Amino acid sequence: MSETGQEILAGGSAPASAGDPGFLWDFWYPALRSEAIRGRKLATAMLLEVPLVLGRTREGRAFAMRDACPHRGIPLSYGRFDGQAVECSYHGWKFDGCSARCTEIPSLSSQDKVKVERISAGHYPCAERDGYVWVYMSAPRQAGAGPGARLAETLPAAPELPKFSEKYKITHLECDLPSHIDHGIIGLMDPAHGPFVHQSWYWRSRRSIHEKAKQFEPIPNGFRMSKHEPSSNSAPYKILRYFSGAATTTMIDFVLPNMRFEEIRSGRLWFSSRATVTPVRRDLCRIDFVAAWNVLLPVTVFRMFAKPFLRQDQLTMIQQAEGLKHDPRLMLIDDADRPAKWYFALKAGLLESRRSGAPMVHPMSGPVTLHWRS
Ligand code: FES
Ligand SMILES: [Fe+2]
């Protein structure tokens, strides 16, 4: 960083170095909504440039395999699924959904010695939470070796949205961003674009810009905007306070690889949301937004307000992608872009600790107050 507090950010559609798409492997990523795999239907998804075929067994278990037959590479999603195994459309090889192991090669004769069960289509562990199928994206070991399969028992638990009462409403929204994951993420945590991108009568206007001071603290693999009374210029918080009659607090966490959690509490009322930005390809990512609450707020009304909000972010990123095509030099400035700097430092710290085996160095040594106007 220079003395001016500016830092030059590599421009272009892929901030990572050429060739390396800059993905974080060995994490859970949401692949699709649970409802997308029903009955014997197969669905496809792409995560970190890995094509996946997903389905649900007769017993209801979600599974994911690499969507390429290990025989000749045709997508297995063109094949047939009988509730347990996927049959390739080309030569009929069968693969067990849950293990991705080959179970049958119809062309083999009694003379052949091929070890069928040694052939794998590439297994990816799956877990379902909050209406999403999460897939654990293990780092590829080397070209052609398939995923470095880890036993399901040794994996961390898939992320779950915190909820604070038995009964609640829940809703999901998503949108594609034509951006590299890093731009998607720093856009997600950017505090200064609100009054410009999200102008609306119910949220805030440009005129409402004022100076803010927010405290942040380090958390494992991320950072937290410490619990505080939310900004006075946002209508939703005012409404919450009105209904609960209690003080309202909000807390926002960013956690690697890609999650932003926001929690608003007001007496017994709560609102909890999570946005994840998932890398699909190096030039495409997707925001999955899930929110749950126990406030008397109909899902339809919430969606009516949330959809244009997400759309505004999407439009901005579409426009940004136009500019990034020409590989401009970019900057991160203090303090408004400090969270973005932390993100890059966390990512680098994690990769370094994985490489060296040493504990991860966190970019924050303790709580810090950031100042900006928004
Ligand atoms: S390509 Fe799939 S069985 Fe031959
Ligand atoms: Fe935004």
CATH number of the domain to which 46 belongs: 2.102.10.10
Distance of alpha carbon 266 from alpha carbon 54, whole angstroms: 40
Number of domains in the chain: 2
Of 83, 117, 137, the one marking the end of a domain is: 137
Percent of the chain with pLDDT over 70: 89
Residue 16 resides in a domain: no
Proportion of the chain in helix, strand, coil states, percent, rounded to 5: 20, 35, 45
State the residue range of the domain holding 309. Answer: 169-373
Residue 93 Cβ < 6 Å to ligand 1: yes
**Residue 345 confidence (pLDDT) above 70:** yes
Span 63-67, average pLDDT: 98
Looking at the CA of 204, name the nearest ligand.
2
Same domain, residue pair 283 and 330: yes
Which ligand is the nearest neighbour of the Cα of 309? Answer: 2
Residues 188 and 131 reside in one and the same domain: no
Q: Tell me the per-residue pLDDT of 281-297, one tens digit each, with 9 for 90 and over.
A: 999 999 999 999 998 88
Band of pLDDT at residue 6, cut at 50, 70 and 90: low
Whole-prediction pTM: 0.91
Same domain, 31 and 71: yes
CA of residue 68 to ligand 1 center, whole Å: 9
231: confidence class by pLDDT, cuts 50, 70, 90: low
pLDDT, residue 3, reads 43
Same domain, yes or no, for 96 and 216? no
Overall residue count recorded for the chain in this entry: 374
Same domain assignment for residues 46 and 120: yes
**C-alpha 102 to ligand 1 mean position (Å):** 11
From 88, 116, 119, mutation site for ligand 1 pocket: most ligand atoms within 8 A of C-beta: 88
* Ligand 2 centre distance from Cα of residue 335 (Å): 18
Residue 216 has pLDDT above 90, yes or no: yes
Determine if the peptide bond prior to 257 is cis (ω within 30°).
yes
Domain assignment present for 238 = yes
**Whose Cα sits closest to atom 4 in ligand 1?**
91
Probe residue for ligand 1, chosen from 93, 104, 119 as the CB with the greatest number of ligand atoms within 8 Å: 93
In a domain, 297, yes or no: yes
Clarify whether residues 236 and 315 are in a common domain: yes
- Shared domain check, 335 and 229: yes
**Does residue 304 share a domain with residue 230?**
yes
Residues 74 and 173 in one domain: no
- Final residue belonging to a domain, choices 115, 137, 159: 137
- 174 and 318 in a single domain? The answer is yes
Rounded to whole angstroms, the Cα distance separating 322 from 316 reads 10
The verdict on 123 and 209 lying in the same domain is no
43 & 103 share domain:
yes
